[in-house]
Amino acid sequence: MTDVQHLTTGTFAAAVEGPGITVIDFWAGWCGPCRAMAPRFERAAVKRPAYRFAKVDVDAEPALAARYGVRSIPTLVVLRDGEPVAAEAGVVGVDQLVEALDRIAAAPRPGRYGAGGRGMTDTGDWPLERVLFALAGTITLASAALAVTVSEWFLLLTAFVGANQWLYVLVGACPASLVLRRAFHLRSVIYDNDSAASVAREVAAV
């Protein structure tokens, strides 16, 4: 049977910092749902021996629970290469857990969601994530004040968010460029009109 480690503060770092997938079950002995989750967790460990499975008793190790924002139990936290990438509270089925872990293992490596940031049962990209990247494009373009060339602008975007997300930035940056161009144009027209009016008043005064 695949070993499920019981981690403490002293053994935690060495157990989770290696490469690959680690899933941690935060539990307590008095918790009924935790006891229901235990055999499912062990069966998932048997089905996926390539992943590391571990348990943390929140009563014995409250600091570890606090580090990963565990507010209810059972909570499963998944780490990839030592970094938290997903979390799920409540009892999770064996197949559901295994499929979620496989999906996380197969996903592109860039991007950190943080414990609790994305549920293990979620699929696909968040619409919110796309909105945030579009917003990033707007902010980036505004701060760049319309870069001199398209190539410079593209390099700025890819440096800011990574090449795999630049398309979402472009979506936000395109309408922003129109708004900025319009704003600059109106400002120029107002300035020119004010200048012309000032000249006219000076001529009339003469």
Active site residue 31: yes
What is the 8-class DSSP label of residue 82? T
Q: Which two tokens stand for residue 85?
A: 């990438």
Active site residue 174: no
Residue appearing with tokens 């496989």: 102
Q: Which two tokens stand for residue 33?
A: 């749902």
Query: Where would I find the beta strands (DSSP E) of the chain?
Result: 5-6, 21-27, 52-57, 75-80, 83-89
Cβ neighbours of residue 90 under 8 Å, at least 6 residues apart?
33, 72, 74, 75
Tell me the whole-structure pTM to 2 decimals: 0.55
Element (H, E) at 21: strand 21-27
**Which residue out of 21, 23, 24, 34 is catalytically annotated?**
34
What's residue 108's pLDDT? 83
What's residue 42's pLDDT? 95
Per-residue pLDDT of the chain (206 residues; tens, 9 = 90+): 458 999 999 999 999 988 999 999 999 999 999 999 999 999 999 999 999 999 999 999 999 999 999 999 999 999 999 999 999 999 999 999 999 999 999 988 654 444 444 565 544 444 455 555 556 666 655 555 555 555 555 555 555 555 445 454 454 555 555 444 554 454 454 445 555 555 445 545 54
127 prior amide bond cis, ω within 30: no
**Which residue out of 15, 28, 31, 91 is catalytically annotated?**
31
Nearest to 31 by CA among 87, 90, 88: 90
Q: How many whole angstroms separate alpha carbon 153 and alpha carbon 176?
A: 13
Q: Which two tokens stand for residue 204?
A: 């009339």
